[in-house]
Amino acid sequence: MNVAFKLFKQKNFKEVTMKEIADKTGLSLGAFYHHFKSKEQLFLEIADYYFKELMRDDFSQFSQESLWQFLNDYIANLLGKMEISIYEGKENEVNSYMLIFDALKILPIFKERILAHKEKELEIWMKILKAAKTKGEIKPKMSDGQIARFFMYSREGLGIRLLMEGNIASMGEEMRNLWMEYYAQIKG
């Protein structure tokens, strides 16, 4: 899987051949098919692993005491991931996004899993925001859903924008600035 993962990050799904994977791993095609039914199955397992381990956030590790602390924990988590990304190099980050986009296009089940995760993420944001409103921490004019989507979409949009600019390493700081300014606007 590690060899195939590197190949899928270097090239897109269609460019990587079964023969190339087998050659790079030292396995025969028969041995490969013993472990995976198809290139699509292997790609799905790689995309799932990559999303789970490197892109999906474990919100249970973030403070639920206040929106302020939740935001700080979220940003600290992102900064930790950015350190790994910087260590691996800028090209790696672009290729990582391309791997995810390729998987979304090719594998309907992967897209369903991502959308299900995004729904759970929205629920978590809504829960945090409701608690923050109940405690009087924030007094926004927008609905919880609008605020939750602002936080979710700003992270995704900012990531893509900075990736295009070749400045993904600044994401944590850029997000901190944006989110903390917005927090100041909705604070009670």
Contacts for 51 with CB less than 8 Å, ≥ 6 apart: 100, 110, 113, 114, 117
Does residue 37 sit in helix, strand or coil? coil
pLDDT at 42 over 90: yes
Query: What is the structure's pLDDT at 141?
Result: 93
CATH number of the domain residue 11 falls in: 1.10.357.10
d(CA 184, CA 19): 55
Q: Which domain holds residue 145?
A: 2-186
Contact yes or no for 110/13 (Cβ under 8 A): no
Over residues 116-138, the mean pLDDT reads: 95
Number of domains forming the structure of the chain:
1
d(CA 33, CA 44): 15
Question: Band of the pLDDT at 84, cuts 50, 70, 90?
Answer: low
pLDDT at 186 over 80: yes
pLDDT at 88 over 90: no
Contact yes or no for 5/46 (Cβ under 8 A): yes
pLDDT at 67 over 80: yes
Query: What is the structure's pLDDT at 54?
Result: 67
Residue-level length of the chain: 188
Query: What is the structure's pLDDT at 70?
Result: 97
Task: Kindly report, residue by residue over 129-165, the tens digit of the pLDDT.
Answer: 999 999 999 999 999 999 999 999 999 999 889 888 8
